[in-house]
Chain A
Amino acid sequence: MSSQVKIAKTLDVRGMYCPGPVMETAKAIKQVQVGEVLEVLATDPAAKPDIEAWARRTGQQILEITQEGGVTRILIKRVK
């Protein structure tokens, strides 16, 4: 699924801790157009639940979350 998604921007917040990843994600989503996809790379163990919660609250759509080698990769589609 992910390999077909066109990524408009990648946000690398590896090494940052809460609330860093969520705050940077909130800023970065504004730098892509509605319909485009933001890729977030994070190492904070809270990044997955926090960005999921942020997306629910703000109405953005999470397309995919994968976790590998301590890195969480989240694809977020800007829908509004």
Chain B
Amino acid sequence: MAEKSEGKKKLSMIVFSGTIDKLMPVGILASGAAAAGYEVNLFFTFWGLRNITKQGIRNQPAPIDKNYESMGPAMMAKMQEMKYPMWYQLIQQAKEVGEVKVYACSTTMEFFGIKREDLAEFVDDVVGVATFLDRAEGGIVLFV
């Protein structure tokens, strides 16, 4: 049960996008905020949601946005050279250091035929807009 959570330092993100160039900053912001003592809520919906299934994790890295396509291979190579964690590893690390909740959008799950058991282990709950708004209240909200 999602408990009442207003009045704390808080960062909530609606993760709508499913391309790696958007997922990476979600992981970076989530882990940075968690380390700084923020409560973090990640609400994955639409194209974002497809990346937090077990299959979605196996298929990482997700494709890059068409606008940055030419930069993709060089960026990936650099990240590997830096041993920079993937976005979902950053989220897993964030969960270890702070109060981080990962939510899946129930309506999108139905659109894509995704079952609860298909979701990656770091997903906490299947929720809807009312829960997101309740948890996000009074904090920073980003639509990514």
Chain A positions near chain B (C-beta within 8 angstroms): 17-19, 21-22, 44-54, 56-57
Contact = CB atoms under 8 A, between A and B. Distances in A.
Interface centre among A17, A18, A45, A52 (most CB of B within 10 A): A18
B2 A46 contact: no
B77 interface: no
Which 10 A/B pairs are nearest by Cβ-Cβ distance?
A18-B128, A46-B128, A53-B134, A46-B106, A50-B130, A45-B126, A50-B128, A49-B131, A17-B107, A53-B130
Contact of A22 (B110, B126, B128): B128
Contacts of A49: 1-2, 125, 127-128, 130-131
Contacts of A51: 130
Contacts of B127: 18, 46, 49-50
23 contacts: A17-B128, A18-B106, A18-B107, A18-B128, A18-B129, A18-B130, A44-B107, A45-B116, A45-B126, A46-B126, A46-B128, A46-B131, A47-B128, A49-B2, A49-B127, A49-B128, A50-B127, A51-B130, A53-B130, A53-B131, A56-B4, A57-B133, A57-B134
Interface in B1-58: 1-2, 4
Interface of B: 1-2, 4, 105-107, 109-110, 116, 125-131, 133-135
